[in-house]
Amino acid sequence: MPELPEVETVRRQLLSAFQGDRIESVQAGNDSLFQNCTAEAFSRRLSGKSLKEISRVGKYLIFDCEDIYPVFHLGMSGIFLQDAGKSHYPQHIHLQFRMASGKALYYQDVRRFGKIWLHHQPPEFKHLGIDPVSGELRLGELRRLLSSRSANIKLFLMDQQSLTDIANIYASEILFEALISPFRKTDTLSGREVLALYSSIKNILYQAIDKFGTTYSAYQTVEGESGQNQNFLRVYQRHGQPCWWCAEPIRKVVLGNRSTFYCPNCQK
DNA sequence: TCTGACCTGCGA
DNA sequence: TCGCAGGTCAGA
Q: Tens digits of per-residue pLDDT, A168-218?
A: 888 889 999 999 999 888 889 999 999 999 999 999 988 888 877 776 666
Whether the CB of A183 is less than 7 Å away from nucleic strand C comes out as: no
**Does A223 participate in catalysis according to the annotation?**
no
Contacts of A81 (CB under 8 A, 6+ apart): A87, A93, A105, A106, A107, A108, A220, A222, A224
The percent of residues above 90 in pLDDT, for chain A, comes to 41
User: Which CA-bearing residue is nearest the C1' of B10?
Assistant: A217
Q: What is the pLDDT of residues A107-158, one digit of tens each?
A: 999 888 889 999 999 888 877 888 888 778 899 989 988 888 788 888 888 8
Rounded CA separation A43/A31 (Å): 11
Q: Tell me which residues from 37 to 96 on chain A have a beta carbon below 7 angstroms from nucleic acid strand C.
A: 58-59, 73, 75-77
Does residue A3 lie within 7 Å of nucleic acid chain C, judged by its CB?
A: yes
Residues of chain A with CATH 3.20.190.10: 4-119
- Active-site annotation holds for A258: yes
- Catalytic status, residue A264: no
- Length of chain A in residues, anyone? 268
- How big is the CA angle at A93 (ends A70 and A58), to the nearest 5 degrees? 40
Q: Give rounded-to-5 percent helix, strand, coil for chain A.
A: 35, 25, 45
CA/C1' separation A237–C2 (Å) = 21
Given this model, what pLDDT does residue A218 score? Answer: 63
pLDDT in tens, A86-115: 888 888 899 999 999 999 999 999 888 889
In chain B, which nucleotides are within 7 Å of a protein Cβ?
A: 1-10
What's residue A215's pLDDT? 66
Question: Which CATH number is associated with domain A4-119?
Answer: 3.20.190.10
Q: In this structure, is the dihedral angle defined by the CA atoms of residues A13, A14, A18 and A19, taken in order, positive or negative?
A: negative
Q: Is the pLDDT of residue A2 over 80?
A: no
pLDDT at res. A81: 92
Of residues A25 and A211, more confidence is placed in A25
Q: Active-site residue among A3, A6, A173, A177? A: A3
User: Widest CA span of chain A, in angstroms?
Assistant: 58
Q: How confident is the model at residue A42 (pLDDT cuts 50, 70, 90)?
A: very high
Q: Which of A45, A112, A258, A264 is catalytic?
A: A258
Predicted TM-score of the model (pTM): 0.90
Structural domain A139-262, CATH architecture: Orthogonal Bundle (1.10)
Is the Cβ atom of A128 within 7 Å of strand C at any atom?
no
pLDDT, chain A, mean: 88
Q: In the annotation, is A184 catalytic? A: no
State the pLDDT at residue A185.
86
> Which ranges in chain A are annotated with CATH 1.10.8.50?
139-262
